[in-house]
């Protein structure tokens, strides 16, 4: 009984000292506890969480820096109708179902996360072009860097990867705008872009500097735009595209308008078809993680 009385007395003494110490401390300043508006706060590394500023691995055709978790995967369908929207008058366009009655160039893409920050994938278009690519996260915004940076490399070939190979290498640089979207720059070098010759010739490389943005206008709705000015070999028409996009969980559905059909890096480097002709299309993507 004496031991119990001593234990209770000691516990009461500790509680009294703790309360006295807390009362002696000045109250916390809420303004000091909260980070300044321009103070960078590291986001937790959770590649499986939805990134409201970067909901997808591509803008329209150009890549983003969205990370894929280890053993996660993603599937994407690209669809570009081949009827120019300006062909004929508006009645002709309506009678053709806004171009969906025409042919289309379709692409199927699958990507897989082999390590944290490392993804590989394959993209095949209906003109029998196959592109293999690998993308490695180098810097992550908010973790000691004001921007996100990925290294990307790809190789593609026509005739189901039997002819006209076009290797490419470059970087993807992103800057997230809080939860309002992100802006991008993609300096990429692409070899063998001279209209798919049967033999390599001089001056057949193109250096593109892609620019793009995805702006969040509603909680799950975005407007997207991209362009890819080029240096080196290439026609005068640079790839350009804009879109409206809706996200639903792991799904993204995008309606886009482009001046060409390109969805691989070499196709983008070869440019659009015409600045006077625009084409309707869509992208559908689904994440599996």
Q: What is the pLDDT of residue 12?
A: 47
Give me the pLDDT at residue 90, please. Answer: 82
How far is Cα 121 from Cα 41, in angstroms, rounded to an integer? 32
Q: Which of 173, 104, 160, 105 is nearest to 132 (CA)?
A: 160
Q: Which residues pair with 287 in a beta bridge?
A: 74
In a domain, 136, yes or no: yes
**C-alpha dist (Å) from residue 55 to 80, 89, 100, 216, 283:** 21, 36, 27, 10, 13
In a domain, 174, yes or no: yes
From residue 62, alpha-carbon distances to 44, 83, 91, 101, 271 in Å are 26, 22, 33, 27, 13
Q: Which two tokens stand for residue 256?
A: 């886009």
Tally of domains within the chain:
1
Q: What is the CATH number of the domain that holds 155?
A: 2.40.160.40
Q: Give residue 1's pLDDT.
A: 44
| Residue 14 lies inside a defined structural domain of this protein | no
The answer to whether 75 and 107 have CB atoms below 8 angstroms apart is: no
> How much is the pLDDT for 92?
80
Mind giving me the DSSP string for 205-248?
A: -EEEEEEEEEEEEETTEEEEEEEE-EEES--S--EEEEEEEEEE
13 within some domain: no
Q: How far apart, in Å, are the Cα atoms of 76 and each of 79, 127, 199, 220, 243? A: 10, 17, 32, 18, 16
- Determine, yes or no, domain membership for 153: yes
What is the residue range of 99's domain? 73-288
Per the domain annotation, does 19 fall within a domain? no
CA distance 161 to 225: 30
Q: Could you list the pLDDT tens digit for every one of the 289 residues in the chain?
A: 444 344 444 444 544 444 445 455 555 444 444 444 333 345 557 899 999 999 999 999 999 999 999 999 999 999 999 999 988 888 888 888 877 888 999 999 999 999 999 999 999 999 999 999 999 999 999 988 999 999 999 999 999 999 999 999 999 999 999 999 999 999 999 999 886 555 556 678 999 999 999 999 999 999 999 999 998 876 679 999 999 999 998 999 999 999 999 999 999 999 999 888 999 999 999 999 9
Asked whether residue 1 is domain-assigned, the answer is no
Asked whether residue 282 is domain-assigned, the answer is: yes
- The CA-to-CA distance between both ends of the chain, in Å, stands at 60
Structure token pair of residue 187: 């300096």
């Amino acid at each position: 009984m004496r031991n119990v009385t001593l234990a209770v007395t000691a516990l009461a003494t500790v509680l009294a000292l703790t309360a006295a110490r807390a009362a002696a401390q000045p109250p916390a300043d809420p303004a000091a506890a909260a980070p300044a508006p321009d103070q960078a706060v590291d986001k937790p590394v959770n590649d499986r969480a939805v990134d409201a500023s970067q909901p997808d691995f591509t803008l329209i055709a150009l890549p983003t820096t969205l990370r894929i978790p280890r053993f996660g995967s993603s599937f994407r369908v690209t669809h570009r109708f081949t009827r120019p929207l300006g062909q004929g008058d508006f009645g002709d366009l309506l009678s053709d179902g806004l171009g969906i009655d025409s042919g289309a160039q379709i692409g199927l893409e699958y990507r897989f996360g082999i390590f944290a920050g490392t993804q590989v994938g394959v993209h095949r278009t209906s003109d029998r072009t196959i592109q293999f690519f690998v993308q490695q996260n180098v810097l992550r915004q908010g973790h000691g860097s004001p921007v996100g940076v990925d290294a990307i490399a790809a190789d593609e070939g026509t005739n189901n990867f039997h002819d006209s190979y076009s290797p490419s290498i470059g970087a993807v640089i992103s800057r997230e705008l809080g939860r309002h979207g992100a802006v991008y720059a993609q300096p990429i070098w692409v070899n063998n872009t001279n209209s798919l010759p049967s033999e390599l010739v001089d001056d057949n490389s193109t250096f593109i500097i892609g620019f793009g943005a995805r702006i969040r206008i509603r909680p799950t709705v975005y407007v997207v735009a991209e362009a890819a000015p080029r240096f080196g070999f290439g026609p005068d028409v640079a790839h350009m595209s804009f879109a409206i996009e809706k996200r639903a969980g792991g799904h993204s559905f995008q309606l886009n308008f482009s001046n060409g059909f390109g969805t691989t890096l070499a196709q983008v480097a070869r440019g659009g078809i015409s600045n006077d002709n625009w084409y309707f299309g869509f992208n559908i993507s689904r994440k599996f993680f």
